[in-house]
A and B are shown apart, each in its own frame.
Chain A
């Protein structure tokens, strides 16, 4: 495969994709703050469906003692991963608890032993260099490693390359194009050795011709540190600075920026010979194989001007959002809205009594200055959403169709390809809730398809 560089190093322009938007980055609140380790809270709530796919199946009983890093739920199928307790403690309940998505879902509640250590005392994991591929995939699944970028797609599914396909280019995603979030930035700065170690483990099994670490140009310290580390590395690895633009970190956009290839609708990056992993995922891989610590904690950003001490925290998974916010000094009176995830794609929360999941990249407490409530007007057909949509869809038309509840026509206009980056809602001068109505449309189309399938079969 020929690597094409749309960026030009002589003129100083950086590689990027077409369309997109430039939201206010607001990363200065946390981008210089070191990652802090958050102490254990008294209770942990570990949801069985933290990832995309089938929920995990609990393997512990109420009253059972568990130790840090122990498996408490096994994978429920191939597209599913294991779940581990982040603390020593006792299982107090397996019941329904509030999930950040809004519904109640089954979870395991663990009461923390006050003497719980932060080191893992699990038996050592065999050295990955001596393992066959299928054992490696099995171990990654058991370790509960999922994509840490937000969607929490099980990593072992991504790593198992199907027959007839080949991964020629591996990309590490350190773009972090969402405003406010700095967790990947800090991971790249502080865990650069683990990142390269995890890459070498993965490279041993994938055998890519080239490895690129994609970083947006607004993280010069991360680019500098990783560039130096790459130069002494034996891997065919290189740091690629990318233009600061949203949604640069979406995998399709990243591939089109670096390789110039467009992934056809409904296809995966592997269909064009590439594999994209978040940097946090790769660090988790290294942590598991070198320190035998499965995915029990992750780095999240707590930011926004309504939180007293914005920080980057290493949080055990299952910590309640309220504990995290209290650890950051609590909330100020200017609080207008709380989001899980970034401001563009994150979900507004109605309560703080929900736990941090494997896919949670940040908690944002936005003040009234940062939130603007537009009134909604009719579409004036200015076409700004067409210039913003990175997938070249027609958000204006889709919005009109959604307003008239014409779900079938929305499907004909490729609403299912939309990955809800919210660039169209961001630029709309009429304040039309475009992405929200696309989410409704996608749900209606999927439900209709499921109904048709169940009627046929």
Chain B
């Protein structure tokens, strides 16, 4: 090799030899690239999944809360259902009505109307009303934690424990603990996402349409004085509301007044008037409001006998 190196022709030979190798390598690589490109091109044609571009657009317009109030696992799944017109935009209870109009305009459909539903607490026994049997000293200051220790300290085993797991779990800050230790749902903020229903160890939250205003705020299955000895606002199963309400509207099941909401149109505050404990109430907008603040002036005002006119 040293000899070749000394004269010019040897160097040239060496160069062409090396060039040949490079050219061969380049041809192989280009060939491979072409083969793969063909495979990819065929795969792109054959396996292509068409995705409606509107899904992305609608997902952008949705609130990204992934709360599940619409019944779908998340906002994207809801957007897919919207594009296939399986659901109406109004199912999203988190978006404002303007936002819903935008989505409806994009899809060219009606926004639809969805009845507003909010979470209602079926217990009115706060610190003032319900009796406690013990003092909870555990360090796990959650309802769930208290409930695993002999069911919590309240005398009523159905009652709200008042440590605010529902307030913690609410993504929309729609629940605050009032001065009586009861979680109060702010109807303007509640989107009926079901999170508080699932977290409550006593199963006290229920999602209800806002026009179901007659609510029994009690779950106790005890009767009479025994129920009232544990909580001053318990349903004592006296049956007055059954008599006062429209026929068939209210029924006593296992010592608890149960409202048949199929007859909601005939419900009226009349059923609540003679309730001795205020367990059945007429809730106009927000729960646990003192009579002064209530939207409609229905408090329990007993009239003196002299004021009652004979019919």
Do the two chains bind? Answer: yes
User: Which A residues lie at the B interface, using CB under 8 A?
Assistant: 96, 98, 100-104, 347-351, 373, 375-376, 405, 431-433, 436-437, 439-440, 443-444, 447, 451
- Measured between C-beta atoms, what is the minimum distance from B207 to chain A in Å? 15
Specify which chain B residues have a CB less than 8 angstroms from the CB of A103 in the assembled complex: 151, 157
Known: A350-B150, A436-B149, A440-B144. A104 touches B221 (CB 8 A): yes
CB-CB under 8 A from B301, the residues of chain A are none
| Neighbouring B residues of A101 by C-beta, 8 Å | 150-151
Contacting pair B144 A443 (CB below 8 A): yes
| Contact, CB under 8 Å: A96 / B222 | yes
Is residue B134 contacting chain A, with contact meaning CB distance below 8 A?
Answer: yes
- Chain A residues within 8 Å of B201, by CB: 443
Determine the distance from Cα of A431 to Cα of B139 in the docked complex, in whole angstroms. Answer: 9
Q: Which residues of B contact A451 (CB under 8 A)?
A: 198
Docked-complex contact B133 and A447, CB < 8 angstroms: no
What separation, in Å, do the CA atoms of A349 and B153 have in the docked complex?
9
Cα distance A349–B151 when bound, in Å? 9
Query: When A350-B133, A436-B145, A437-B145 are in contact, do A104 and B150 touch as well, CB less than 8 Å?
Result: no
A376 to B139, CA, bound (A): 7
Residue in contact with A98 in the complex, picked from B138, B147, B157, B158, CB distance below 8 Å: B157
CA distance A405 to B145 in the complex (A): 12
Question: Does B308 interact with chain A (Cβ within 8 Å)?
Answer: no
Q: Which residues between 47 and 72 of chain B lie within 8 Å of chain A, taking CB atoms?
A: none
Residues of A within 8 A of B145 (CB): 433, 436-437, 440
Give residues of chain B (128-171) contacting chain A, Cβ–Cβ below 8 Å. Answer: 133-134, 137-140, 142, 144-145, 147-153, 157-158, 169
With A436-B145, A437-B145: A347-B150 Cβ-Cβ less than 8 Å: yes
Q: How far is the CA of A103 from the CA of B137 in the complex (A)?
A: 20
Would you call B149 and A347 a contact (CB within 8 A)? yes
Say how far A395's CB is from chain B's closest CB, in angstroms: 14
A sample of 12 inter-chain contacts (CB < 8 A) reads A100-B150, A101-B150, A101-B151, A103-B151, A104-B157, A350-B133, A351-B134, A376-B139, A405-B169, A432-B139, A437-B145, A443-B148
> Could you tell me the distance in whole angstroms from the C-beta of A45 to the nearest C-beta in chain B?
14
Q: Contact check, B157 vs A433: say whether CB atoms are below 8 A apart.
A: no
- Chain B residue contacts of A375, Cβ below 8 A: 139
- Chain A residues with CB under 8 Å of B133's CB are 350-351
CA distance A405 to B152 in the complex (A): 20
Minimum distance in angstroms from A207 CB to a CB of chain B: 41
Top 7 closest A-B pairs, CB basis? A102-B151, A350-B134, A376-B139, A439-B148, A102-B150, A350-B133, A440-B144
When chains A and B are docked, how far (Å) is the Cα of A154 from the Cα of B144?
28
| C-alpha spacing A440/B200, complex, angstroms | 12
Nearest A-chain residue to B148, judged by Cβ:
A439
The answer to whether A348 and B222 touch across the interface, beta carbons within 8 angstroms, is no
List 9 additional A-B contacts (Cβ < 8 Å) besides A436-B140, A436-B149, A440-B145.
A98-B157, A101-B151, A102-B150, A102-B152, A104-B157, A347-B150, A431-B139, A436-B148, A440-B148
Q: Mark B74-98, 1 if CB is under 8 A from A, else 0.
A: 0000000000000000000000000
Chain A residues whose C-beta falls within 8 Å of the C-beta of B157 in the assembled complex: 98, 102-104
B contacts, CB < 8 Å to A: 133-134, 137-140, 142, 144-145, 147-153, 157-158, 169, 198, 201, 221-222
> A351 contacts which chain B residues (CB < 8 A)?
133-134
Chain A positions within 8 Å of B148 at CB level:
436, 439-440, 443
* Closest Cβ–Cβ distance, residue A401 to chain B (whole Å): 14
Query: Using Cβ atoms and an 8 Å threshold, which residues of chain A touch B139?
Result: 375-376, 431-433
- B residues in contact with A349, CB < 8 Å: 150
A440 (CB) vs chain B CBs: closest residue: B144
In the docked arrangement, what's the CA distance between A189 and B157, Å?
41
Say how far B36's CB is from chain A's closest CB, in angstroms.
39
In the bound complex, how far is the Cα of B255 from the Cα of A96, in angstroms?
11
Nearest-neighbour CB distance to chain B for A411, whole angstroms, equals 16
A256 CB, nearest partner CB in chain B, Å: 28
Q: Is the CB of B138 within 8 A of A436?
A: yes
Nearest chain A residue, comparing its CB with the CB of B134: A350
Residues in A with CB closer than 8 Å to B142 are: 440
CB of A296 to closest CB in B, whole Å = 25
Measured between beta carbons, the chain B residues less than 8 angstroms from A436 are 138, 140, 145, 148-149
| B137 → chain A closest CB, angstroms | 7
CA gap between A348 and B152 in the complex, in Å: 10
Minimum CB–CB distance from B290 to chain A (whole Å) comes to: 31
- Chain A residues positioned under 8 Å from B151 (CB to CB): 101-103
Contact of B140 among A348, A373, A433 (CB under 8 A): A433
Find chain A residues with CB under 8 A from B198 CB: 447, 451
Name the B residues within 8 Å of A376 (CB-CB): 139
Chain B residue nearest in CB terms to A340? B150
**Contact in complex: B137, A373 (CB < 8 Å):** yes
Q: Across the interface, do B138 and A433 meet the contact criterion of CB distance under 8 Å?
A: yes
Is there contact, CB below 8 Å, between A102 and B147?
A: yes
- Closest Cβ–Cβ distance, residue B111 to chain A (whole Å): 28
Query: Once the chains bind, are B221 and A96 in contact (CB under 8 Å)?
Result: yes
Closest CB-CB distance, B275 to chain A, in whole Å? 22
A440 adjacent to B149 (CB under 8 Å):
no
A353 nearest in chain B by CB position? B133
User: Residues of B contacting A405 with CB < 8 Å?
Assistant: 169
Tell me which residues across on chain B come within 8 A of A350, comparing CB atoms: 133-134, 150, 153
A405 CA to B195 CA, complexed, in Å: 13
In angstroms, how far is the closest chain B Cβ from the Cβ of A364? 14
Q: A348, B221: Cβ atoms under 8 Å?
A: no
Chain B hits for A437, CB < 8 A = 140, 145
Q: Could you tell me the distance between the alpha carbons of A351 and B150 in the complex, rounded to whole angstroms?
A: 10
Query: A103-B157, A433-B138, A433-B139 in contact; A348/B144 too (CB < 8 A)?
Result: no
**Complex formed: what's the CA distance from A440 to B148 in Å?**
7
Bound-state CA distance A440–B138 (Å) is 13
Task: Give the complex CA separation of A447 and B199 in angstroms.
Answer: 10
Q: What residue of chain B has the Cβ atom nearest to residue A339's Cβ?
A: B150
A19 to B87, CA, bound (A): 56
A166 to B: closest C-beta gap in Å: 38
Whole-angstrom distance between the alpha carbons of A436 and B150 in the complex?
Answer: 12
A141 to chain B, nearest CB (A): 29
Within the complex, the shortest CB–CB distance from B69 to chain A, in Å, comes to: 16
What's the minimum C-beta distance from A55 to chain B, rounded to whole angstroms?
15
Residues in chain B near residue A98, CB distance under 8 A: 157
Residue of B nearest to A104 (CB): B157
- Closest Cβ–Cβ distance, residue B139 to chain A (whole Å): 4
A211 to B125, CA, bound (A): 56
A376 to B134, CA, bound (A): 21
In the complex, A376→B148 CA distance in Å? 19
Q: Report the Cα distance A432→B139, complex, angstroms.
A: 8
Chain A residue nearest in CB terms to B151: A102
Q: How far is the CB of B244 from chain A (nearest CB, A)?
A: 27
B165 to chain A, nearest CB (A): 9
Q: Would A440 and B140 count as touching, CB distance under 8 A?
A: yes
Least Cβ–Cβ distance between A94 and chain B, in angstroms: 13
